[in-house]
Structure 1
Amino acid sequence: MKFVLLGSDPHTDSFVRAAQDASHEMIAFMADDGETPEVPSSARRLDGLADVVRLTDVGYAVLAGDFDYRAEQALALVRLEPMPLVLSVPLAEKPDVYYELGLYRVESKLPMLTLLPEAAHPGLAKLREWTGETSPQWMEWTLPFDPEQKGSLRFHEGWSWIRSLGGEIEEISATGGDESGGGSQLLVSARHQSGILTTIRWRALPSEGYGFRLETTAGTIEGTFERGCQGPVTLIDRRGGQLRTETHEPFDVGPTWVAEWEALREKRDDEAWHRGLRQIELASATNESLERHRAVSLEYSDVSEQQSFRSIMTLTGCGMLMGLVLVVIVAAIMTSMGVFGNWQPPIFLGILGVLALFCSLQLLGLLFRPAKPPKPSPRDEDSLSHPD
C-alpha cells in the first residue's frame, strides 16, 4: 500500500514508522519550512498539493504539518482529489472543517482516520475493563490546560476518556476565569445523554494533581495523571472494600493505528472519525460557554449531501412562496393604479411555471443516497486498546 506524507508531527511520525514496518511504502512527501521528517531516499519531495493530484498510484495520504495550515490543506486536498486520509488532530480550532470533511467522507465512502493518542492509552482500556458494562454514576476530573493557547484548543485534552466512560455529552456549562475565558482554573459541568453528571476542573499549566474519580454502584475508582491524559496514569480501585493499584505507561500507538487503518479500509467504523470530531466539538462548546456565560447544548448528526440538499430546497421553497405572494400584491397594486390591464392570466401562468420548475428540482434528490446515521457507543468493542 503506497502513501504520501504531508507535513510531520510526533503523532504522524509514529504512524508512519509503523506503516513502513507493515510494508506500506512512502512514495512522496511534502514538508513545511524547517521540518525534516524521516523519509526513505526513494521518496519524492513534493512542492505543493497539486503535485499530489498528479501522482497516479497513491493509496492514501497522511496529513499533519503546521497547525495554521493543516485545515486548509485537508480541505484543498479533498476538493482536488478525494482520497483516504489519515489526519493528525486537532485540525482546527472549530469543528466546521470536520463537518466539511465529514461530508466528503460520507458521500465518497472513503475511510478517514483521526490520530488521537489519548484514545489509545492502555490505562483507558484497563479502566473500561474495570467498570465493565455499567457506566459510572458520576465523575469528577482535574485536567491541565495551557492559557497561552487560543480559544477551544485550550480544552482539547481528556474528552476521549470522559466520552468512553460516560457516553455522549448533551450539555456543557463552563464558569471561571476572567471575561476572556482565561484564568488559572475553570470549572465545567457536563451532562451525558445517559444522565451521568461530570465535573471537570481545568488547571492552568504548570500545576499538579491531575486525575479523576469515578463513583460506581460498587464503590470508587480513582486515577492520577503525571503529565495529562497522554502520560503515565495510576489507577486505584477501592470497590468492594479492597484496594487495587495499577500503573500504566503510554506506549507506541503507531502499530495499533496501522492495524485499525487496515481494518477501516475493509469495514467502515464511524468511531475512527467521531473521536476526533467529538474532541473538538466538546472543546469548542466549552469555549463558547465561557464566552457567552451560558450552557451550550450539543446535537450529533452526520452531514451528508442529502441533508444539505433538503436544507437548500426548504430555504428555496420558503423564499419562492414569499416572492410569489409579493409579486401578486405588487401586481394588484399596480393594476389599481392603472399600470396593468388584465394581469391575472400571465401572472397565473408564471406562478405555475415557477412551481413546476421547483417541483422538477426535487427529482435531483434521487441522486443522493441517504447516509447511514452514526451510532457512536461509549463501549464500542472496536475502540483502541493496548495490543497484546
Structure 2
Amino acid sequence: MRPESEAELAEMIAGAQGPLRIIGGGTRDIGRPVAGTPLSAAALSGVTLYEPGALTLVAGAGTPLAEIDRTLAAQGQRLAFEPMDHRGLLGSSGAPTIGGVVAGNVSGPRRLQAGACRDSLLGVRFVDGAGRVVKNGGRVMKNVTGYDLVKLMAGSRGTLGVLSEVALKVQAIPETAACVLLYGLEDAAAVAAMSAALGSPYDISGAAHAPVGVDGHPVTMIRIEGLEASVLYRVGRLKALLAASGAEIHVEHAPEKLAAGWQWVRDVEMMQGRGADVWRFSVKPTDAPELVAGLSAGRGDLRVLYDWGGGLVWVASAPGDDLRPAGLAGHATLVRASEATRRAIPVFHPEPAPVAALSRGLRRRFDPRGILNPGLMA
C-alpha cells in the first residue's frame, strides 16, 4: 500500500481489515517484528513551504532526508539535531525520510546542544488508526494550541498515527568549526574531560569518546562551532581547561576531516557490519564508565562508543545476549539484532507501570483497532 495523498492515506487506514506495518524509507527496522500489510508513506513527498528568513520548513513525511538537506544547504541552513543515518548500522537500503526521522525521534551528536528532533518539531499532520486526519502545532516557534501532540508523535514509531506532513525549525550553518582531540584517556577520565568542557561557557556542539578509535587508540572528540574568531578563542581556552587531563591534545580544523569524523560518531561506523547485536544506553554521563565496566565483566571486550558527553553509550555484543542490567538507572534499546532475538528480548526499555498504563491508553485512543505497527514497541 502506497498512498499518493493524505486523503488516500486516510481512506486506506479506515478501510484496513487487519494490521498494518508502517514504513517510510524502510531504513530503520527497529523494534519487535510486525506482521502486517506494509503501508509506505514514501509517496507523500516534497517540500511544501520553506521560509529561510523564518527558519521554518514544511515537508511531506515521505520527503527524502537528502532532499531536505540539499534544500537547506542551498540557503546556508541545516537541521539542528544532526539525524543519524541507520543504513550502515542496520544493513538496510533505501532512502531515509523526514517522517521516519520524526517517528523515531532520530537525533545525532548535536543533540546535547540543539536538543532532540522533537525539540525542532513545530507541527504535524497525521492519520490515526481510525482513519481520521489530525493536525497539531503550526509553523511558528511559539504555538500553543491544546494538547502537544507534536512531541507525542516524535518517537511514537507509527504506533499512534501515520505522519503525512511535518513542520520543523531549522538553523544557519556556522561559519566554521573545530574539534579538540584528546588522545589516550581511559573512559572515566574521558567522561570527566567531556563534562568539564560541557560545563564550561564555550558552547560545545559535540562530545564523544571512543576507547578504540580508528587508529586503535582511545580518542576523545570535542566540537566547537560558530564565527571564526569565536571558535579560535574558545578552542584556545578549552585546550587550557583540558590540559590537566594529561592527554595529548590536537586540534582539527579541516572541514572534510571534521565532517568525516562526526559522521563516524553519528552513524556509529565502528559497529557497522553484521555479527554482533548493538545496544543503545541512555544514562547519566558519570554512570557510563561503570555501566561499561559492568557489561564487560564476563563478556570479554565489547565495542563501545560514548556520545553526548557520555550520556549515550553504544555497545556491540555477542548475538542473543540481553545486556540490560537489573536496576539500570537509564534506558536501554536493542537497536540491531536478528528477528528471533528481537522477539525473545524486549527491544525497548520496560516502562514503569504508571507510564505503561498511560501508553496503553494513548494507543487505545489513537488506534482503537490496534492496527498500526501492533506490538512494535512491546
User: TM-score scaled to structure 1, two decimals?
Assistant: 0.27
Bigger strand fraction: 2
Between Structure 1 and Structure 2, which shows a larger proportion of helix residues?
A: 1
The alignment's TM-score, normalised by the length of structure 2, stands at 0.28
| Structure of higher CA gyration radius | 1
